[in-house]
Homo-oligomer: A and B are copies of this chain.
């Protein structure tokens, strides 16, 4: 800690910021534009599938296509998010730029044919591979490439969800459990912000979610600025959200591990995965668990948006979405995990709200962020996401549910390259 003002220090800091502004602006422009393209394609693919149910029957074939896409042109792109995280921890092999087009294409294919997946993984991989490419092109030092990669993650994440602050903090928080380092704080914030601006400029809009309850009825404890009983219920729900995160991560890793162990012909894995998704769709009797799940093809169906209302999710919607997604992503299809985690959380929140007597939109919103917090071990980013998506009024409940879910998810998570910096007990 310095005690004196040093002019040279201010000078260095200013230079550092100018340098990163110049590096990050074009990165955010490219990543933001690619994410905008991706979101547009995803929207078209989802609408097209809604109007052509038979596409689901081709899911196994789509899986083979994705398998050979990666096998023939992928190099080490298969590593995905984990490859980018490894490269930040220990610069080495590099992230190939071809990861960006490959992951966009394969994710759109996954969604077009009805795989259950998300989009943040895709956006993060686009961000990371463009950042790595730019770093190589500009001959940056390994330390600077590290910061570029983190800025790339922030740009991808911030752009895909329209949440710039969450994007920046997510990029810093996701690398290791239990620690945030600020080495790339401002580059990440700038990248995330600019990329979000770029997506907006391309005319792409994000879904708005609302927690509408304005008043919690006054109780004998209303001298407090919050409701103590509600807080206890939120803690109980937080434990359930954390266990759901753990279940999702464990199941996805388990399916991946077992199918690689038992199915010797690798291209058969997505075929079997695709067939299982088809069989499950007919067994459950709804296509609501296919695709992103933000909206449903029938207005009253199971979806993230509907989970904020009474009857918008059945008691086991969360479980079905969890199963569909684990199979899709564990058996060779592409896409992110986060939007399905939003679905699982919001649907579980919907169910728990009825059991616990809590306003449904509040608990759906808390599940939305908390299951994600538990599965990625990013409780601070998710608390901020609550503020960015739902407003600041319930920040206390956001923090309590995300932190509780974070603890109860244990040292598991969806990113195998995430390190453990500070354990949870």
Does chain B have a CB within 8 A of A230? Answer: no
Interface secondary structure of A, over-half rule: helix
Closest to A419 in B: B1
Contacts A179-B180, A185-B379, A422-B181 given; indicate if A413 touches B1 (C-beta within 8 A). yes
Contact B182 A178 (CB under 8 A): yes
Does chain B have a CB within 8 A of A380? Answer: yes
Contact A1 B182 (CB under 8 A): no
Contact A395 B388 (CB under 8 A): yes
Does chain B have a CB within 8 A of A411? Answer: yes
Interface residues of A (CB under 8 A from B): 1-6, 9-10, 12-17, 162, 164-165, 168-169, 177-183, 185-186, 189, 193, 196-197, 200-201, 203, 223-225, 228, 231, 243, 246-247, 249-250, 253-254, 257, 379-380, 383-384, 387-388, 391-393, 395-396, 399-400, 403-404, 406-408, 410-413, 415-422, 424-425
List the number of copies, as a whole number.
2
Closest to A250 in B: B5
Contact A13 B407 (CB under 8 A): yes
Contact B10 A408 (CB under 8 A): yes
Closest to A200 in B: B224
Contacts A17-B407, A179-B180 given; indicate if A4 touches B201 (C-beta within 8 A). no
Q: Which of B9, B15, B189 is in CB contact (< 8 Å) with A400? A: B189
Contact A16 B379 (CB under 8 A): no
**24 A-B contacts, Cβ less than 8 Å apart?**
A1-B177, A1-B420, A2-B412, A3-B257, A4-B253, A4-B254, A5-B250, A6-B410, A9-B410, A10-B408, A17-B407, A165-B395, A178-B181, A178-B185, A179-B181, A180-B180, A186-B407, A196-B225, A197-B224, A201-B224, A203-B223, A387-B387, A391-B391, A392-B393
Contact B253 A3 (CB under 8 A): yes
Contact A1 B417 (CB under 8 A): yes
Contact A1 B200 (CB under 8 A): no
Cα distance, A231 to B13, chains bound together (Å)? 20
Contacts A1-B420, A391-B393, A393-B392 given; indicate if A10 touches B197 (C-beta within 8 A). no
Chain B residues positioned under 8 Å from A5 (CB to CB): 246-247, 250, 410, 412
A260 to chain B, nearest CB (A): 13
Cα distance, A179 to B223, chains bound together (Å)? 36
Chain B residues positioned under 8 Å from A417 (CB to CB): 1
Contact B9 A399 (CB under 8 A): no
Chain B residues positioned under 8 Å from A17 (CB to CB): 407
